[in-house]
């Protein structure tokens, strides 16, 4: 028979004995510099104790991934400190044995083996910790969803000395389910409407509230112990469904910190369970290697003084036969080591105009700097002005004009990046001059790599992706990609439901199941500049896995403008699930958007797209991204369209987060490729945009002022 | 209505949810690993302590030995070019070090490089007068970071250095520099008016490097 009090006492004694024995055996080591250490994260992936949140915030820009498990529940969370005070989390959780304890006729019994949920959190740091004040945060947990797991909290954390950290707070919603001590009004039931997925603002901080608390003790710089009192009763999971036994509100844990970035923990939870947690934190502002890797640049070429060697300054070299070819081939040799390719090259006696393609260096200013050094080694002494135009997909993205004398004088000067920036002019690239290009670049490129295609959480296919592209001329590229499935565990879409809208996205599973070999993309893409500051694109073919047709785009973006405006018009047909035809769906649609892009500064980018989506619905998408100087980018978006919540289906509207990580960040050597992922709560048919690659905004902005100025510190690198 | 947000398919041949998490896992772990690796992959590792003077002289050019313990670097450098009073030395692995009269002003290729610096001259250091230094780095967000120090130097007397079988008599000088929130020190071994050996600060992540002028 259950003696709850006895069990709680035993759990408490066990926990304390555990702690004290550990303390005795692990004592030792230097007291850590607490201020330097990253806050530890809870099972919910936010700064916290064990299952409860704490009042601290991570350092601005930090990204954390946490995976935790206990009592049949698995949680994995991605948390991003969006600003110094605001952080957001995206959590995926899965609870096993969901219906095991229920009888077949029970109204709660929905027949699923396990229950998966996605949740979004938001936290706001109200007070930073000072000598006298604690750190204070308010948080919304699972605030966009069904609402039954939603919680809000106010929590404070204070450090005492170098080792002790104390947390105490009040929770509402789920965090008030155990031993509430009062109430702020009545918590209205969630208005799920037809389909949930909307912020449950009418509930926030209303209803009963309960206290929770925790302590963390730093044993030495690697080991710490934690204890907490939890106000989450797990009414459904432990109560109705008996997935685990919540015998006590006390949790205890032992954590090991390996390097700044990793923490591992083992815990005793709720008097009955053992749990584990792994926390990974990453600071995108810092480079893993401590700095930018890659070989040192060549020295700036020095010209002899006019008095010592006046002939070197003579301008007669222009008339020499073969001068152009010789200069171009010397230049190509110098630039090749950095992966820079001469697209066009012309000159007068005093000025050289170089249009260069950057295939390798992740930073525009560094590529400009390397190109300038190469010009200083190759061009005769009379050439004083360098005009360097970085070219992307055949379009000149901007023009950097600098004087050779400035290069020579500033090469080893203190703070020479700032000094050079004051002397260069960055403007729009002019029209293409008829010069000599480098015909030796590789027009045909191909790649073969293993790829993972995920269709459902923990279900997907492993295979090979073969891609190839042929550049007919700069700005005109024929390319394709094929995925060959080798193995996988996605055999049937168990949870696909019919859609009230044309199934432009919700049938994705059918495409993944349709055949082992799939032609992901086969297209011809054209890029060009229609006028100064006006870029154009047209892409035709099998543009993506589900749709094929024509996509056209125009972008107006001056080099020095925070605002850019674009318009995109597409006409596509939905592809068959297994081949080249269009008969399965017989669905053609004209879609398009007018877009406004705004660089808010500090790396924050906003975008508003208004138009018509694939299912024929009209509406708007608002996105906000944060980009770091090294290219890591995190963002979130939401789309509202004329597709009603009922038509959209579960989730009510499309929202998600997206992440881009440049490959050079991982490899530590120069590389321009990037890895991107979009994580959505659900993939339904409302608010669906055509996934055509190579859209103009991201293509040209690397060489415009917003990014160039932020990365200018690398020009002499 | 079903169990709330029950299991649903995430579409995406190219969008990799789990792989994103995996990728970030690798990235976060990489931070720990990469900080232990030297700045550049190396050529074959030769034990420079056991090379003979004759082998070094056979190169036919001046040789400088650079050791940076924090990055695991121990290489031989030879002069690459000269611009005004600045000489740039280069290693086979691709790093370069630029000195003004023997005082380090710039490195490249290490990763945590010294981007540029405002430094006193060797005469000012040797004379013991109070000087100022500024170090410029690019770290957080690849942005220019500046640190200014006020420095004084102190003579430590004569020291005999043995460099690959040859003895050098040097004057050992220690320069101590401080700023609000930090301090560092550099050491110089002067032979006449030029440097025979020095230990100079590079950057917070690289620490100090020891530079030994072996072959002139």
Report the pLDDT value the prediction gives residue B10, as an integer from 0 to 100.
30
**Distant-in-sequence, close-in-space partners of B38: CB < 8 Å, separation ≥ 6:** B71, B72, B73
Report the pLDDT value the prediction gives residue B62, as an integer from 0 to 100.
93
Nearest-CB residue to B30 (from A288, A494, A713): A288
Report the pLDDT value the prediction gives residue B19, as an integer from 0 to 100.
42
Rounded average pLDDT over B121-139? 89
Q: Above 70 in pLDDT, residue A143?
A: yes
CA distance B156 to B161: 14
What is the phi-psi region of residue A362: left when phi exceeds 0, alpha when psi lies from -120 to 50, beta otherwise? alpha
Q: Which chain A residue has the Cα nearest residue B205?
A: A290
Nearest-CB residue to B105 (from A297, A412, A495): A412
A413 vs B contacts (CB less than 8 Å) = 116
Report the pLDDT value the prediction gives residue A50, as an integer from 0 to 100.
96
User: What percentage of chain B has pLDDT greater than the value 90?
Assistant: 50
For A:640-659, CB contacts with B below 8 A are 650-651, 659
Report the pLDDT value the prediction gives residue B58, as an integer from 0 to 100.
85
Q: Is residue B142 part of a domain?
A: yes
How deeply is B45 buried, as exposed, middle or buried, from its count of CB atoms within 10 A (0-12, 13-18, 19+)?
Answer: exposed
Report the pLDDT value the prediction gives residue B20, as an integer from 0 to 100.
45
- The per-residue pLDDT for range A351-366, each reduced to its tens digit, is 999 999 999 898 899 9
Q: Per DSSP, what are the bridge partners of residue B155? A: B173
What is the nearest CA distance from B162 to chain A, expressed in angstroms? 31
Q: Report residue A29's pLDDT band, with 50, 70 and 90 as the boundaries.
A: very low
Strands A618-627 and A604-612: antiparallel
Q: Above 50 in pLDDT, residue B31?
A: no
Q: Is residue B9 part of a domain?
A: no
Q: Which chain B residue has the Cα nearest residue A459?
A: B9
Nearest-CB residue to B3 (from A63, A112, A363): A112
Q: Above 60 in pLDDT, residue B23?
A: no
Ordered by start, the domain boundaries in chain A are: 4-282, 310-430, 523-707
Cβ distance A62 to A269 under 8 Å?
no
- The per-residue pLDDT for range A582-611, each reduced to its tens digit, is 888 889 999 999 999 999 998 999 999 999
Q: Above 80 in pLDDT, residue A570?
A: yes
Number of Cβ atoms within 10 Å of the Cβ of A32: 18
Nearest-CB residue to A714 (from B96, B136, B138): B138
- The per-residue pLDDT for range B137-187, each reduced to its tens digit, is 887 777 778 999 999 999 999 999 988 888 999 999 999 999 988 899 999
Q: Please indicate whether residue A525 or residue A643 has the higher confidence score (pLDDT).
A: A525
Cβ–Cβ of A666/B109 closer than 8 Å? no
Q: Please indicate whether residue A278 or residue A101 has the higher confidence score (pLDDT).
A: A278
Report the pLDDT value the prediction gives residue B44, as an integer from 0 to 100.
52
Q: Is residue B94 part of a domain?
A: yes
- CATH label of the domain that carries residue B168: 2.40.360.10
What is the nearest CA distance from A509 to chain B, expressed in angstroms? 7
What is the nearest CA distance from B53 to chain A, expressed in angstroms? 28
A682 vs B contacts (CB less than 8 Å) = 5, 8, 10
Cβ–Cβ of B9/A116 closer than 8 Å? no
CA distance B173 to B123: 12
Q: Above 90 in pLDDT, residue A282?
A: no
Q: Which chain B residue has the Cα nearest residue A483?
A: B13
How big is chain B by its Cα radius of gyration, in Å?
A: 23
Report the pLDDT value the prediction gives residue A74, as an integer from 0 to 100.
94
C-alpha distances out from residue A22 to A19, A217, A219, A225, Å: 5, 12, 9, 9
Report the pLDDT value the prediction gives residue A389, as an integer from 0 to 100.
96
Which range among A54-68, A73-87, B134-148 shows the weakest confidence by mean pLDDT? B134-148
Alpha helices in A225-362 (DSSP H): 323-336
Question: For residue A19, what are its two tokens?
Answer: 């702690």
What is the nearest CA distance from B183 to chain A, expressed in angstroms? 18
**Strands (E) located in A359-457:** 385-392, 395-396, 399-403, 425-427, 444-456
Q: What DSSP string runs through A229-268?
A: E-----IIIIIIS-SS----SEEEEEEEEETTTEEEEEEE
What is the nearest CA distance from B160 to chain A, expressed in angstroms? 33
Q: Above 90 in pLDDT, residue A686?
A: no
Question: For residue A427, what are its two tokens?
Answer: 């403007």
Q: Please indicate whether residue B49 or residue A466 has the higher confidence score (pLDDT).
A: A466
Cβ–Cβ of A683/B10 closer than 8 Å? yes
A520 vs B contacts (CB less than 8 Å) = 13-14
Q: Is residue B105 part of a domain?
A: yes
Q: What DSSP string runs through A118-153?
A: EEEEEEEEEE---SSS-EEEEEEES-BS-STT-EEE
Report the pLDDT value the prediction gives residue A592, as an integer from 0 to 100.
95
Average pLDDT over chain A, rounded to whole? 87
CA distance B191 to B102: 12
C-alpha distances out from residue A228 to A105, A232, A666, Å: 38, 12, 37
Q: Report residue A436's pLDDT band, with 50, 70 and 90 as the boundaries.
A: low
Cβ–Cβ of A650/B8 closer than 8 Å? yes
Q: Above 90 in pLDDT, residue A285?
A: no
Number of domains observed in the structure of chain B = 1
Q: Please indicate whether residue A382 or residue A293 has the higher confidence score (pLDDT).
A: A382
Q: Above 90 in pLDDT, residue A621?
A: yes
Cβ–Cβ of B18/A411 closer than 8 Å? no
Q: Which chain B residue has the Cα nearest residue A693?
A: B14
Rounded average pLDDT over A176-198? 79
Sign for the CA dihedral angle at A89, A94, A95, A99 comes to positive
In three-state secondary structure terms, A157 is strand
Report the pLDDT value the prediction gives residue A2, as an integer from 0 to 100.
46
Q: Above 80 in pLDDT, residue A527?
A: yes
Cβ–Cβ of B141/A483 closer than 8 Å? no
Q: Above 80 in pLDDT, residue B29?
A: no
User: What percentage of chain A has pLDDT greater than the value 90?
Assistant: 55
CB pairs under 8 A between A and B: 262
> Can you give the residue range of the structural domain that contains B125?
48-215
- The per-residue pLDDT for range A81-107, each reduced to its tens digit, is 999 999 999 898 999 888 888 888 888
Q: Which chain A residue has the Cα nearest residue B113?
A: A291
Which range among A198-212, A272-286, B113-127 shows the weakest confidence by mean pLDDT? A198-212
- The per-residue pLDDT for range A498-521, each reduced to its tens digit, is 778 888 888 888 888 878 888 999
Nearest-CB residue to A110 (from B3, B90, B95): B3
A116 vs B contacts (CB less than 8 Å) = 5-7
B6 vs A contacts (CB less than 8 Å) = 110, 112, 115-116, 495
- The per-residue pLDDT for range A546-561, each reduced to its tens digit, is 999 999 999 999 999 9
Rounded average pLDDT over A118-124? 91
CA distance A552 to A696: 10
Cβ–Cβ of B13/A512 closer than 8 Å? yes
For A:349-368, CB contacts with B below 8 A are 363
- A411: contact with B, CB 8 A cutoff: yes
Q: Report residue A378's pLDDT band, with 50, 70 and 90 as the boundaries.
A: very high
Sign for the CA dihedral angle at B114, B119, B125, B130 comes to negative
Cβ–Cβ of B10/A455 closer than 8 Å? yes
Rounded average pLDDT over A479-483? 94
Q: Please indicate whether residue A506 or residue A246 has the higher confidence score (pLDDT).
A: A246
**Candidates 3.30.300, 1.10.10, 3.30.70, 2.60.40; correct CATH number of A310-430?**
3.30.300
For A:15-44, CB contacts with B below 8 A are none
Q: Report residue A458's pLDDT band, with 50, 70 and 90 as the boundaries.
A: low
Q: Above 80 in pLDDT, residue B59?
A: yes
Architecture in CATH for domain A4-282: Beta Barrel (2.40)
Cβ–Cβ of B5/A678 closer than 8 Å? no
Q: Which chain A residue has the Cα nearest residue B116?
A: A414
Rounded average pLDDT over B25-30? 44
Which range among A111-120, A284-293, A529-538, A694-703 shows the weakest confidence by mean pLDDT? A284-293
Q: Report residue A110's pLDDT band, with 50, 70 and 90 as the boundaries.
A: confident
A628 vs B contacts (CB less than 8 Å) = 141
Report the pLDDT value the prediction gives residue B148, as an integer from 0 to 100.
94
Report the pLDDT value the prediction gives residue A32, as an integer from 0 to 100.
41
Nearest-CB residue to B112 (from A291, A677, A691): A291
C-alpha distances out from residue B43 to A282, A328, B46, B94, B155, Å: 31, 32, 9, 10, 38
Q: Above 90 in pLDDT, residue A118?
A: no
CA distance A614 to A685: 8
Q: Above 50 in pLDDT, residue B67?
A: yes
CA distance A65 to A7: 34
Q: Do the first three CATH levels of A4-282 and A310-430 match, i.e. the same topology?
A: no
For A:473-502, CB contacts with B below 8 A are 483, 493-496
For A:250-289, CB contacts with B below 8 A are 258-262, 280-283, 285-289
CA distance B102 to B192: 13
Cβ–Cβ of B6/A110 closer than 8 Å? yes
CA distance A356 to A325: 16
B9 vs A contacts (CB less than 8 Å) = 455-456, 493, 495-496, 506, 508-509, 683
Q: What is the pTM of this model?
A: 0.80
Residue A606: φ, ψ to 5°: -115, 150
Residue A350 C-alpha from the chain's centroid: 45
Nearest of A663, A222, A666 to residue B29 by alpha carbon = A666
Cβ–Cβ of A112/B15 closer than 8 Å? no
Report the pLDDT value the prediction gives residue B2, as an integer from 0 to 100.
31
What is the nearest CA distance from B35 to chain A, expressed in angstroms? 6
Q: Which residues of B100-121 are buried (b: 16+ CB within 10 A; e: fewer)?
A: bbbbbbbbbbbbbbbbbbebbe
A interface test, pick of B1, B2, B11, B103 with most A CB neighbours within 10 Å: B11
B15 vs A contacts (CB less than 8 Å) = 454, 676-679
């Amino acid at each position: 028979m259950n003696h709850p009090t006895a069990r709680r006492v035993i759990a408490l004694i066990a926990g304390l004995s555990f702690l004290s024995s550990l303390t005795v055996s692990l004592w030792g080591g230097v007291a850590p510099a607490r201020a330097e250490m990253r806050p530890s994260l809870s099972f919910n992936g936010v700064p916290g104790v064990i299952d409860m949140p704490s009042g601290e915030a991570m350092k601005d820009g930090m990204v954390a991934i946490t995976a935790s498990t206990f009592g049949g529940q698995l949680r994995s969370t991605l948390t991003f400190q969006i600003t110094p005070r605001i952080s957001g989390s995206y959590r995926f959780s899965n609870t096993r044995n969901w219906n095991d304890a229920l009888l077949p006729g029970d109204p709660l019994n929905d027949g699923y083996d396990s229950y998966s949920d996605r949740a979004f959190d938001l936290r706001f740091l109200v007070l930073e910790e000072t000598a006298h004040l604690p750190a204070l945060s308010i948080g919304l947990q699972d605030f966009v969803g069904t609402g039954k797991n939603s919680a809000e909290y106010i929590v404070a954390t204070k450090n005492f000395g170098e080792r002790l950290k104390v947390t105490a707070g009040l929770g509402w919603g789920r965090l008030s389910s155990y031993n509430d001590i009062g109430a702020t009004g009545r918590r209205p039931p969630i208005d799920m409407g037809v389909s949930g997925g909307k912020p449950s603002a009418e509930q926030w901080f209303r209803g009963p509230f309960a206290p929770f608390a925790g302590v963390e003790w730093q044993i030495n710089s690697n080991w710490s112990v934690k204890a907490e009192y939890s106000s989450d009763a797990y009414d459904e999971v432990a109560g109705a469904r008996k997935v685990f036994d919540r015998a006590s509100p006390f949790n205890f844990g032992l954590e090991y910190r390996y390097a700044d970035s990793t923490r591992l923990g083992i815990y005793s939870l709720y008097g009955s369970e053992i749990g584990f947690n792994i926390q990974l934190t990453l600071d995108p502002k810092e480079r893993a290697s401590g700095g930018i890797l890659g070989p040192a640049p060549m020295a700036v070429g020095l010209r002899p003084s006019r008095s010592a060697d006046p002939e070197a300054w003579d301008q007669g070299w222009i008339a020499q036969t073969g001068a152009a070819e010789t200069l171009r081939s010397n230049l190509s040799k110098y630039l090749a080591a950095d992966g820079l390719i001469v697209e066009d090259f012309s000159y007068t006696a005093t000025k050289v105009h170089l249009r260069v393609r950057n295939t390798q260096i992740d930073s525009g200013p560094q590529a400009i700097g390397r190109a300038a050094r190469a010009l200083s080694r190759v061009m005769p002494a009379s050439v004083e002005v360098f005009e360097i135009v970085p070219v992307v997909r055949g379009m000149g993205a901007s023009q950097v004009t600098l004087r050779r004398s400035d290069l020579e004088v500033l090469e080893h000067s203190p703070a020479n990046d700032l000094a050079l920036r004051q002397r260069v002019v960055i403007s729009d690239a002019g029209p293409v001059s008829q010069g000599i290009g480098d015909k030796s670049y590789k027009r045909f490129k191909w790649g073969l790599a293993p790829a993972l295609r995920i269709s459902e959480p923990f279900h997907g296919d492993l295979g090979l992706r073969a891609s190839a592209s042929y550049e007919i001329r700069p700005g005109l590229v024929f390319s394709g990609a094929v995925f060959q499935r080798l193995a996988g565990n996605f055999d049937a879409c168990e949870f696909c439901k019919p859609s009230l809208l044309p199934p432009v996205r919700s049938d994705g599973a059918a495409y993944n199941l349709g055949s082992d070999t799939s032609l992901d993309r086969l297209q011809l893409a054209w890029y060009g500049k229609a006028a100064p500051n006006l870029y154009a694109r047209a892409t035709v073919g099998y543009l993506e896995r589900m749709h094929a047709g024509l996509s056209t785009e125009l972008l107006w973006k001056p080099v020095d403008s925070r605002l850019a405006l674009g318009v995109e018009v597409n006409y596509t047909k939905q592809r068959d699930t297994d081949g080249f035809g269009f008969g399965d769906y017989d669905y053609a649609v004209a879609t398009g958007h007018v877009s406004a892009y705004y660089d808010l500064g500090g790396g924050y980018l906003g975008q508003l797209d208004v138009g018509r989506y694939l299912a024929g619905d009209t509406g708007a998408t608002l996105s906000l991204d944060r980009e770091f100087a090294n290219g890591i980018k995190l963002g979130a978006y939401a789309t509202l369209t004329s597709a009603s919540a009922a038509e959209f289906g579960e989730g009510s509207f499309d929202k998600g987060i997206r992440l881009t990580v440049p490959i050079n960040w991982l490899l530590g050597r120069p590389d321009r490729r990037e890895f991107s992922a979009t994580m959505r709560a659900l993939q339904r048919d409302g608010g669906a945009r055509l996934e055509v690659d190579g859209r103009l905004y991201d293509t040209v902005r690397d060489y415009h002022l917003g990014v160039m100025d932020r990365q200018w510190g690398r020009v002499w690198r | 209505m079903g169990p709330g947000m029950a299991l649903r398919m995430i579409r995406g041949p190219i969008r990799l949810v789990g792989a994103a998490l995996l990728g970030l896992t690798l990235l976060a772990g990489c931070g720990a690993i990469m900080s232990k690796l030297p700045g550049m992959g190396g050529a074959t590792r030769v034990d420079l302590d056991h090379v003979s003077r004759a082998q070094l002289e056979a190169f036919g050019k001046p040789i400088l030995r650079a050791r940076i313990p924090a990055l695991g670097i121990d290489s031989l450098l030879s002069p690459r070019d000269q611009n005004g009073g600045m000489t740039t030395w280069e290693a086979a692995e691709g790093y370069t070090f630029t000195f003004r009269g023997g005082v380090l002003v710039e490195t490249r290729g290490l990763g945590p490089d010294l981007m540029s610096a405002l430094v006193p001259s060797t005469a000012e250091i040797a004379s013991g007068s109070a000087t100022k230094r500024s170090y410029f780095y690019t770290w957080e967000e690849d942005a220019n970071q500046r640190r200014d120090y006020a420095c004084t130097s102190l003579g430590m007397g004569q020291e005999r250095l043995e460099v690959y079988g040859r003895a050098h008599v040097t004057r050992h000088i220690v320069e101590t520099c401080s700023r609000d929130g930090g301090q560092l020190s550099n050491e110089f071994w002067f032979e006449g008016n030029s440097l025979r050996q020095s230990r100079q600060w590079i950057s917070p992540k690289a620490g100090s490097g020891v530079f030994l002028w072996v072959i002139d």
